[in-house]
Amino acid sequence: MNERRSTRTVVDGWVVLDKPVGMTSTHAVSRLKRIYNGKKAGHAGTLDPLASGILPVAFGEATKTVPFVQDGEKAYSFTVRWGIETDTDDADGKATRESEARPTIADIEALLPRFTGDILQIPPQYSAIKIAGERAYDLARDGETVELKPRPVTIHRLTLVDANADEAKLVMECGKGAYVRSIARDLGRLIGCFGHVTALRRTRVGPFFEDDSYTLDEIEGGEAGNALLSVEAGLTELPCVIVDRDAAARLRRGGSLILRGRDAPHDGIVYAACGGVPVAFGPVVEGALEPTRVFNLPF
Do strands 240-242 and 269-274 pair parallel, antiparallel, or not at all (unpaired)?
Answer: parallel
List all residues 6 or more positions away from 101 whose beta carbon is below 8 Å from its beta carbon.
Answer: 82, 83, 191, 192, 193
d(CA 150, CA 143): 21
Kindly report the pTM of this predicted structure.
Answer: 0.90
User: Averaged over 150-155, what is the pLDDT?
Assistant: 96
Q: Are residues 88 and 178 in the same domain?
A: yes
Report whether pLDDT(147) > 80. no
Structural domain includes residue 298: no
d(CA 20, CA 29): 12
**DSSP code, position 90:** B
Angle formed at CA 21 by CA 150 and CA 189, multiple of 5 degrees: 35
Q: Are residues 164 and 80 in the same domain?
A: yes
Cβ pair 280, 294 in contact under 8 A: yes
* pLDDT for residue 260: 83
214-255 tens-digit pLDDT: 999 999 999 999 999 999 999 999 999 999 999 999 999 999
* pLDDT for residue 60: 96
Mean of all residue pLDDT scores within the chain: 92
User: Averaged over 119-138, what is the pLDDT?
Assistant: 76
Structural domain includes residue 2: no
21-53 tens-digit pLDDT: 999 999 999 999 999 999 899 999 999 899 999
Using 50, 70 and 90 to split pLDDT, how confident is the model at 7? low
d(CA 89, CA 245): 53
Report whether pLDDT(5) > 60. no
Q: Are residues 104 and 63 in the same domain?
A: no
* pLDDT for residue 86: 96
Report whether pLDDT(8) > 70. no
Structural domain includes residue 147: yes
12-29 tens-digit pLDDT: 999 999 999 999 999 999
Q: Are residues 138 and 191 in the same domain?
A: yes
Residue at 10: amino acid letter: V
* pLDDT for residue 1: 44
Active-site residue list: 48
Give the chain's domain count. 3
Using 50, 70 and 90 to split pLDDT, how confident is the model at 265? confident
The residue range of the domain holding 51 is: 11-70+205-231
179-199 tens-digit pLDDT: 999 999 999 999 999 999 999
d(CA 180, CA 8): 37
User: Residue ranges of the alpha helices (H) in 87-129?
Assistant: 105-111
